[in-house]
Each structure stands twice: as C-alpha cells, then as structure tokens.
Structure 1
Amino acid sequence: MKKRGFWLLAMIMVVGLVLAACGGGKSDSGSKDKTSSDSKKVVNLMESAEIPSMDSKKGTDGVSFTAQNQVFEGLYYLDEKDQVTPGVAASEPEVSDDQTVYTIKLRDDAKWSDGSAVTAKDFVYAWQTIVDPKTAAEYAGIFVGVMKNAGDIVDGKKDPSELGVKAVDDTTLEVTLEQPVPYFLSLLTFPTFYPQNQEYVEKQGESYAKDSEHMIYNGAFVMKDWTNTSKTWKFEKNDKYWNKENTKVDQINVQVVKEPGAAVNLFDTGKLDRATLTGDYAKQKKNDDDYKTELDAFVYYLKFNQKQNGKETLFANANARKAFSQSIDKEQLVETVLGNGSAAAEGYVPAKFTFNPETKEDFRKESGDLNKTDLTEAKKYWEKAKKELGIDKITVELLADDQDFNKKSSEFLQNALQTNLEGLTIKIKTVPYKSRLKLDENEEYTLQLVRWGPDYQDPITFLATQITDDSYNRANYSNKEYDKLLNEASTTLVTKPEERWQKMIEAEKVLMEDAGVAPLYQYGTAVLQKPELTGIVHHLFGAPFSYKWMELK
C-alpha cells in the first residue's frame, strides 16, 4: 500500500473544519407493507450499486458508508444539520490544557445487538487494528499525524498497541493526539472510527462482515438478508439501540436499481417510496409533485493513469491530458445526459461546500472557473501530444461503473473525445461498482470515470488525493509545485487560516493548469419521493445519508 498523503490531514485540522466522509430485503408492495397486520412501518428504498464492504475497517466509498451509517454508531454522529452530537459518548469530552489529551466518557446504555455493552476497549481494538499494517486498511492514513504514534505504526516502526488511545476503564476512553486538533470530535463521526467488538470479530474470523449473519450492530438499525453479493437487503429497527424510542420506522427494504426506468416503474407501482432519477426520466418528471433535487458534494471526473504495468501511458504527456480535459462540453453532459440537477464542474473542489475563513466566500467562486471547454485549444494540444509521442492513431480504454447514468455518460464522453480528437478511439469497459474499485486500487486502467466525495469539510479533502504518492492518487500523478503549496498549507500556515486558504486556491489552479484530473460535474440528486416519507437526512460530507430520523406520516 502506498503511504497516503493524509499525513497532511493532521496539520490541516488545526485550522480546518474537519468533519466526516467522501452514493436489497426484497421489496414487496409498498401499500401492503405499510398497512400490515402488525402495523409495522416499512419503507422501500433503492441503492445505485451493491455494497462493497460492511467492515468499517475496509469501507472506502459512499455506498458502504451509507449502509454502515445505519447500523453502526461512533462516539459522535452528525445530526440533521451536520452538527456533531454525542452518540456512544455520554457527553462532550474533557480536554487537557494543551488540547492533546481527550478523555471521553461512554454512555452506560450503549449496547451491541447481542446485548453486550459497547465499551472503551471496542474503540481501542478497532482503531489499533486499522493502523496495523497487516490490516492494509486504506483509511489508516486518516489517523496519521492526528493520533499519537499512528504514522510510525502505519510505517511498521511501532506496534499498534502504541497508538495514542487507551481504555481507562469500560466507560472511559483516553485519546492522545500528536498536536492540538480543535475539530477532533468532528473527525470521530467518520465511519472509520466506529467501534468493533474484539471477541465477536475474532470469533467470526474470515467470515466477519461477509454477510449480515456474521455482524453485530450498535446503531439505530440491524442488517438482515445481506451477503457481499446481494442486490437486496433490509435494515430493521435495533431494539438494543440506546435511542430506539426516536427510531420511527420498523424496517427499510433496500434494493439495487441501476436503471432509471426501472426505478420510476417501481415508484409508480408503490414498490419504492423514493426513487433516484437521471437522464430523460429526470427531465420528464421534473414537474411532478413528488420530484425533488439537491446538489451534492461528489465530483465526477476523468482520472488519467500515467503509468500502467511499469510503462508510461498516453497520459504521462501533459498535452494529451489537456486535450482530453478541454474537448468535453460539460454543460451539455449535465443537461442532455444527466438532467438531474448536476452542475458542470468549474474545478476539482465543489461549490457550496467550503468557505473562506474570513470573508465566508465560497471556495469555488473565489477560485473561479478553471475548467473551461475550448475545442480549438484542445485540438492544438492533441496535435502537440501526437507529435511528441510519435503517434497518429491510438486506442484508449475508458473504465466506468455499470449504472445506467455512468453508461450513458461514458457514451457521451466516447463520442465527444473521438469527434474532437482526430485519430483517437475510445473503447468503453463497464464493470460492477465493486469491480471498478478493485481495478482502481490495483491501477489496472488507463482512463477512468470516477467520483470523489469529501471525508471532512475542508478543500484539502479533495486536493490531497492528488499529492504525489497519496494512496488515493492511484494515477501516478506528480507535480512538485502542487505538493509544495499543499505542504505549506499543512505546516507553516496551519495557524494562519486566510494564508492557508490562498495556498489551497493556488494549488487547485496548478492542478487544473496541469490537467492532473479532468473534472466533469458536481453531482445532483434528483428523486421521486412519496409525500408521507420524511426525515431522510442528506449529508454533504461523510456518510451520504442517515435514516434514523425517517418517518412515515
């Protein structure tokens, strides 16, 4: 595993707002479920893809985080307004004078679904396991520079037992940081910081989290009828949850629906209470009373792998990257293909997400439109690239998920690139969501349609992914000037919020000028939702959705 650039995170959080990350049971008739003889309140929802992982040590994506967020709970969670609220923690912590030691009391009534108590040891075990190199957890880097000794443990220089966390007793957790992190509690809402019961996990061995029968839960719901290949599953109210009185629905049936036409049909026939729309269906339904849209913080972009199997690819050439980036009409993409409230991306950091610490100006507005379509320039860059590489014709494979909107987006990109860049052939490879994540992890692609969602509320949650050797880079991108700017923002400027902010703006400009990535659009969610269904909370960062406040009126 590459060493992650997330070592920057620790320094950044001194001044940044650090908040959490980065999207079926079979569905019976909705009306029949809602009026069943035992008066159970049942909601029918859809998901865009199968769940890659229910192990909080292994989750890295929005689909996994959404599912985990329903059945697990950390010390703190994000409420309906994205404010940090005590979960397993009984209250706010005691903090040492130098702000590096947090003493957190756990509530007495926090239970696992098997009836055993959630203890401080459950957090110690989970966190030590994540930073252990043997686990190879991709999100281990989020501890580096934040929690004492995490960096040395991840690098194999110290034992996981030396991580800056200990159980003083069953209901008292003590956490020692490398340096003051004022928004540390916000970080604790992130799914990677969920607890795990050591005795249970070790008893299950390799079977742990492979299906719903080999997990125990401490969140508002428990999971039923799920395996790691399931297209349907259920969330059922957790009677052992400390706040179960405020869980208003008894069961949530979830099914994977990749075709928007199928989603509309299921909604119209009462088998879905909320259906996600894209493309023609989103445009057709926009005047319906049940239609709703909201802008998300996920950014979809083209990822250029510069080296594959030890050899440089087409995209090691900056002119080739610029040609691809500037030859795509992003406005046309969001209007004609998506039609779901998505917005053309003007840069890598999304709009309406982070704001200047002094002026409160939106980062996106302040940084400006750095990602313009210019076919004339694109063709010039392409001719330069072909001359420099000594090629006249080339075929490039585009990797994408197999959801309907990604298939159509890929076809749009294929047509635009082939039409505008002479001698280029694009072959599309669509695979299931989990398969694409694996191919990305192994860098087994040349060009990829991918998305990134924020782990916490700070521009660097996007920008850090393109630092040289960051484990989420996975495209062999490297720019010394870019790295230098972000290093300054993370070290010498950590106590100077406005100067740090300007360094991040400079860094994004360097990334866009170099076409390190090619942002396409900021995702918008368009849905049909039954009026009697309320309380689905959409988070702009961290786990995308929370269902614990859901109600059927």
Structure 2
Amino acid sequence: MKRLLTYIFTLLLVVAVVVGCTPQAAPTAAPTQPTQAQVPPTAAPTKAAAPTAAAGPVSFHYAFLDEPPGIDPTIFQGGTQSTIYAALYEGLVTSDEKGNIIPGAAASWDVSADGTQYTFHLRDGLKWSDGKALTAKDFQYAWLRALDPKTASNYSWFVEMFIKNGTPFAEGKVTAEEVGVKATDDKTLAVTLNNPAAYFLQALLAGVWLPVRQDMVEKDPAQWALNAATAISNGAFKLTEYKIGSYITAEKNPYYWDAANVHIDRLKFSFITDANTAYAAFVAGDVDGIAGVPSTELVKLLATDDRLHPYDQLRVSFLRLNTKSEGLSNPKVRRAINMGFDRKSYLEGLGNITSVPALGTVPSGLILDGKDFREVSGDNGLKATAQVEGARALLAEAGYPKGEGLPVYRLHCPDTMLKEAEIVQQMLLTNLGIKTEIKPVDTKLWFPMMVEGKYDIAFGGWGGDYVHPMTFLELFTSTAYDNATGWANAEYDGLINKARVATNEAEALDLMVKAEHILMNESPIVPILFPSGAIMMQKYVTNWFISPASTLYISPAVITK
C-alpha cells in the first residue's frame, strides 16, 4: 500500500469567495505524449517579444487568499505552493501557456523504446542562486529525500508511483543504489520507471520533483526553506524574507540561466485571508493581482471589468460515502444518492455561476487519442438535476423505501462550509428521505478523520497532479490511501493498472472510461461540480500565464506602469 497519499481538499465553491491559483482561460489539453522513444527539442520555443518594461527596479505584488503550511517543495504541495515554486525553482521540465512540456533545467531528454527509461541532459552552466553549480546529483538527492520516511513528504507516494524501487526503498527493503534515479555524471540524470507512463513528463511539473540543496537542507531540515540564508533555489527568483502569517519576498536570481528574460526585480506574495480586504487592496492599487474575488462582486465584475480572469480548475468536488457505514455498504443506496443529488440547485443555492455540474470524476479538456475523456465517458447516467423517481426506486430495491430503515447519517463538513452542508442535508431529506446530522470539523483535523473512517458522508475533492485522466481515477483504487471510502473493486483496479502501462492512447482511453463507469455505478463518491475560479490582475501586468495544471508562471511577466 502506498504509505502516504496527500489529500488535496477542494472547497466546494463558493459562498464567500471565488478563488483560484491564478487566472487562465479554460484549460488546454496537454499534448499527446510519445509512446516510442523520442528526443524533444533542446530548447524552449522562441518567445514572443515582450512589451517594454518599466524603467528602474520593477516590483510585482500578488495576494493569495490563503497561506500554505510550508514551502519545502519536497514535502508540501498545493495550489498556492505551485505558484510560489514556479517562481523560486525550476524542474527538469516546465510548461508553456498551452500545457506543452518544454525544457526546464534539462535541455533535452531521451526515452527508451519501451518507455521505462528516461535520460535527462542538463543545460550547460546551471547554477544555484548563491552561484554554486547545480548538478544532476541535486535532483537525485531531492527525489531520494522525498522517498525517505524521515522526510515525511506528503507526496512520497507520487514518486513511488513512478520510480523503480521507490516503494521498497521507502519501506527500507532496498538501498538508494537500487532506486531508479541516478546521476551518471554532473549533467546526466538516468531515470527508470516501474512501468511505462505516457504522462511522466507531465507529472514532473509537480513540486516534489524540484531540486533542493543537500547542504542547505541539512543545516535546518525543518526550517531551511523559510530562511533566506538557506533557501537556495534555482529558479527566476530567490527568497529574501518569509514573514509567517504575512508575506514572502523574493528578488531576481542573477544566476538563473534565463535571467535575461525575467523582467521583475522584486516579488512579493502576501497572504490576505479575507477576500473583501484583498479586493479592496486591488481596487486601491496596493497589489498588482489577487487570487480570488468576493462572490458578491462576481456578477458585476464579469460584466464590467476586464481585469477579472475567470478560469476552469483541474479539480473535482464530491461527497465521499463511507462504504462501511450501515446502508451505505449497499451500492444501490449509494447510487440512489448519486442520482438523487441536484447539482444544479446546489450551485444555485451557493450563488455559484461559474462552476459546472460534475457527472463524472474527470473534468473536461483532458485529451487522449484526440478525444476529450469527458465527452467519451459521457454522463454516467447522471443529470445536473435530481432524478428523484429513479433514485427512490433504487432505495426501495435496496430495502429502504423513502429512506425508511436507514440510520441518521453523520454529514461531516469543514467548519467553513456550513451553508453547503445545509443545502445537502435538505436535499437528501427532500429527495430521498435520508436524514443527516451536520458535524462541522476543524479543517486541520479533516482528512485524518476520513482516513480513520469516522464519518458517514463527507465533503471532499481532488486537484489533479498532472494533465491526464489518470490523476483523478487512480485516487479510487483499493490501495490508494486517499480513497478513504472503504470501497474496493478488483475489476476497477485491474482496468486502472492496465491503463497505467498502456502505450496506446486509444487503449488507455477505453480502459479508463470503463473504470469511470464502474466507479459511478458503484458510487463510493457523489461528484458535485468541476470548480471554476476567478482572479484579478492589473492591466499593466502582461505576459504572465497559467498552465492547464493551474500554476501561475509569473517569471516572464512584464510590468509596464
């Protein structure tokens, strides 16, 4: 079993704020990854000429609506961190605005004919932000550190999923020399996978794969990433201060290989947890961008302010159903809840005018074999509105007509989501006769409660780690720690395992579509919505972009004020 799958809780937008990592158009599908050996371009595509930057030192100030629990890339992952990491670090590969994988620290790479071996060739002259040479050994150290149980990385599972002998190493059964990551020289990193994975390059965009400096980490393993003296990085910017609870500041990294195309000298990320306060700061011109807007302003801003940038997120929000609970152990009861859920009225009740009802687990825009997964998989027999008659018939077949005989279920929600819980509570009672008792829980205690099975029905969600349907479907395999529903289905596991190693995209698509159909028929979860968000950016900030994986890339931005 994977030791630790991090839970990425996705708020079921939106009562107080429409929030996002950063602005974007609707996600663009990732390009098809090669199924045979291929050497990508040795340099990023030629960049368009940037607007003329402002004279003198240029500053950029962006306000997040939350503060991450940490910014050690090996340990902490999340939407806010991804934007911070994109500014401070650079992995082997990076993304352009269309989601194409392009060279980052690696100038090129080779892939073996069977798709299990990748050889990355680093750029010449790479340096850390203190001027010391960056080598392939820095990547090897970072990946092994992620696998080390002592690190307690919440993404160790992600490295294990791909890298040969990653799990045995994490379990202490093999040595580091037997793990499938080796620096064969200062500029070459040889990687061996557990099996072919056409989406491996996409997966490398996650923060856990970023290089970190061993000597800096060992000076203060718990705090090194928060201190400017030890937070040595290899990206466009380097940390200058982190004031916990307030802000992060950074300055341009003169040793970054592409520093000539970085037009910002000083960078500030503030943490303003009240959306109204952040919006007021934006209106006053005190910040250049904000990562969300109050929902009360959304309709007006959509109609009148082109500084607002709505975007689709690579996420799904759902209800988890504990399959070990009385009644919920019956798939007909779970399917009845899925069919009887009125997604349209849920969104209307929240005033959410941007998100889309979810009739499956995989959002739109993920392309395999030239086809959108969501379109091929279809609606799974679900509708945006409740199918009350059919749902009640299923309950009756299960022996619970009109919900009679079912216990009063615990409906767990984060303590910030009482309105959402009240809508669900009334919906289940009205449509199905199912009674619930709302149980608010501190968000810090949220996922441990679910993993321990101390719930009946609970709000949940997942943010994709890479631009591929597998990032959503693997979550519900029987060995996935984050499944947290108690559901296990051997046929589902088999389809997912076959899709993981499929080298033909048409075959992989067919396998994953079949898997989603099983998941929705069994209904250990009830998909609710595919979240959309909106952020604001001042007009004088140009050339920034967000990838389809919802990461803001601010390093190419130009400030023209």
Q: Same fold (TM over 0.5)?
A: yes
Unaligned runs of at least 5 residues, structure 1: 7-11, 17-33
Kindly state the Cα deviation for residue 349 of structure 1 after the two structures are TM-superposed.
0.6
1:200 aligns with 2:210: no
Q: C-alpha separation between the residues in 1 aligned to 2:237 and 2:223?
A: 21
1:167 match: secondary structure: strand
Q: Specify the alignment match of 1:270 in structure 2.
A: 285
Match of 1:530 among 538, 543, 547: 538
Partner Cα separation in structure 2 for residue 212 and residue 381 of structure 1 = 60
Summarize deviations over 1:316-340 as a string: whole Å, max 9, x none: 3434433433343212333452535
1:91-120 deviations in Å (ceiling 9; x for gaps): 212455666544433234322223322111
Indicate whether 1:506 and 2:514 are aligned: yes
- The equivalent residue for 1:472 is 482
Structure 1's 327 and 179: CA in aligned 2 closer, same or farther, altered over 3 A? closer
Residue from 91, 107, 122 that aligns with 1:106: 122
Distance in 1, matches of 2:419 and 2:255, equals 44
- Which of these residues, 77, 81, 102, is aligned with residue 98 of structure 2? 81
Compute the RMSD of aligned alpha carbons: 3.4
Q: Which of 444, 463, 466 is the matching residue for 1:453? A: 463
1:232 aligned partner? 247
1:234–1:171 distance in 2 versus 1, CA, 3 Å: same
Label 1:46 to 1:215 Cα distance change in 2 as closer, same or farther (>3 A). Answer: same
Q: Verify: 1:243 aligned to 2:251, yes or no.
A: no
Q: 2:553 is matched with which residue? A: 546
1:416 aligns with 2:427: yes
Aligned to 2:158: 142
Residues 488 and 206 from structure 1, CA distance in 2 versus in 1: closer, same or farther, beyond 3 angstroms? closer
Q: Taking structure 1 as reference, are residues 98 and 380 closer, same or farther at Cα in structure 2, changes over 3 Å only?
A: closer
Q: Does the residue aligned with 1:472 lie in a helix, a strand or coil?
A: helix
Query: Structure 1 residues 362, 178: CA separation in 2 closer, same or farther (over 3 Å shift)?
Result: closer
Give the corresponding residue for 2:345.
332
Q: Does 1:318 align with 2:311?
A: no
Secondary structure in structure 1 of the residue aligned to 2:314: strand
Q: Deviations over 1:138-176 (max 9, x none)?
A: 433333464332243234321233212222333332333
Matched letter for residue 503 of structure 1: L
Contact 1:322 1:515 in 2 (8 A): yes
Deviation at 1:3, TM superposition (A): 5.0
Out of 466, 470, 473, which is 1:463 matched to?
Answer: 473
C-alpha contact (below 8 Å) 2:407/2:435 kept by paired residues: yes
Cα distance change of structure 1 residues 548 and 211 upon mapping to structure 2, 3 Å threshold: same
CA separation of 1:361/1:88 partners in 2, compared to 1, >3 Å: closer, same or farther? Answer: closer
**Contact 1:59/1:65 (8 A) holds in 2:** no
Does the 8 Å CA contact 1:277/1:340 hold for their aligned counterparts?
no
Deviations 1:349-384 (A, max 9, x none): 1012x2241xx2311111111232223344455567
Task: Give, in angstroms, the shift of residue 387 of structure 1.
Answer: 4.2
Asked if the contact 2:205–2:466 (Cα under 8 Å) also holds between the matched residues in 1, the reply is no
- 2:253 alignment partner AA: N
Pair 436,223 (structure 1): closer, same or farther in 2 beyond 3 Å: farther
1:299 match: 316
**Partner of residue 25, structure 1:** none
Give the counterpart of 2:408 among 394, 398, 406.
Answer: 394
Contact 2:199 2:468 survives alignment (8 Å): no
Tell me the CA shift for residue 390 of structure 1. 8.2
Task: Output the amino acid matched with 2:254.
Answer: D
List per-residue Cα deviations over 1:480-516 (Å, max 9, x = no partner).
Answer: 232232233335xx14432331121111111111112
Q: Name the residue aligned to 1:20.
A: none
Matched, 1:117 2:133: yes
Matched, 1:59 2:76: yes
Equivalent position of 2:225 in the other structure: 209
Distance in 2 of aligned mates of 1:292 and 1:226: 28
Alpha-carbon distance in 2 for matches of 1:441, 1:238? 42
SS at 2:303's partner residue? Answer: coil
Aligned length: 514
Q: CA deviation at 1:440?
A: 5.1
